[in-house]
A and B are shown apart, each in its own frame.
Chain A
Amino acid sequence: ETGVTQTPRHLVMGMTNKKSLKCEQHLGHNAMYWYKQSAKKPLELMFVYSLEERVENNSVPSRFSPECPNSSHLFLHLHTLQPEDSALYLCASSQEIRGTNYGYTFGSGTRLTVV
């Protein structure tokens, strides 16, 4: 497999469920990201991991919990979500060198619907 792969592609969950989104990159990059894309809004950066350490958390509610066990894998754990959390969740990776991102690549995304 090449590039950035995300699973599942589609997810429907109830507000009391717990689920996880998975992202895997095969590019040898050292940084990974979670973005949220809602209808009629720009992509919103949620979390950044650089060298497996979380370096940014953009005021995301605690019902979203990221995990980066190694430089190739990134998870987003979801619990007690709200209907307004329904969106496309995109994972991305890049090679970060002294603050500049190279080869920024997105996965295909998980389309999440909260019912």
Chain B
Amino acid sequence: RKEVEQDPGPFNVPEGATVAFNCTYSNSASQSFFWYRQDCRKEPKLLMSVYSSGNEDGRFTAQLNRASQYISLLIRDSKLSDSATYLCVVNIRYGGSQGNLIFGKGTKLSVKP
């Protein structure tokens, strides 16, 4: 089983739509969670951290369910500029080692006019 799994998409949605991405992780030692955004041929950039209580940043809402090992990202009122690949990322620390970020393959979103 892959450490971080996401639906690869693509998700093709019209402007203004609400879209939700899901992600599952296999390692219960995962400590912190993030969504990154990667534009075509660019580096990944942090979109938001994900907290157990759920958190919101403008049109973006992230949720974490530790019991189910499940993370979600909701985008409301989607814009053309939201078109990108969204990467689910977990920080896993093994024993005394330094925690490292493990990336999912990403979910591609295409917002159409």
Instruction: Flag whether B80 is at the interface (Cβ < 8 A).
Output: no
Query: Do A101 and B44 touch (CB < 8 A)?
Result: no
Which of B31, B42, B93, B98: most chain A CB closer than 10 A?
B98
Chain A's interface size range is: 20 to 34
- Which residues from chain B sit less than 8 Å from chain A, CB to CB? 2, 4, 31-32, 34, 41-46, 87, 91, 93, 97-106
Residues from chain B with Cβ under 8 Å of A43 in the complex: 44, 87, 103
Question: Nearest Cβ distance between residue A31 and chain B, in whole angstroms?
Answer: 7
Q: A48 to B98, alpha carbons, bound, how many Å?
A: 9
- Which residues from chain A sit less than 8 Å from chain B, CB to CB? 31, 33, 40-43, 45, 48, 50, 55-56, 90, 96, 99-101, 104, 106-109, 111
Cβ-defined partner of A96 (8 Å) among B32, B99, B102: B99
Query: Do A48 and B46 touch (CB < 8 A)?
Result: no
Give 10 new A-B contacts, CB below 8 A, not counting A101-B32, A104-B101, A106-B43.
Answer: A33-B100, A40-B105, A42-B2, A42-B4, A43-B103, A56-B98, A90-B43, A96-B99, A99-B31, A100-B31
Interface of A is mostly: strand
Q: A59 to B93, alpha carbons, bound, how many Å?
A: 18
Q: A64 to B74, alpha carbons, bound, how many Å?
A: 39
Residues from chain B with Cβ under 8 Å of A41 in the complex: 105
Residues from chain A with Cβ under 8 Å of B105 in the complex: 40-42
Residues from chain A with Cβ under 8 Å of B97 in the complex: 55-56, 99
Nearest B residue to A51 via CB reads: B98
Question: Nearest Cβ distance between residue A60 and chain B, in whole angstroms?
Answer: 14
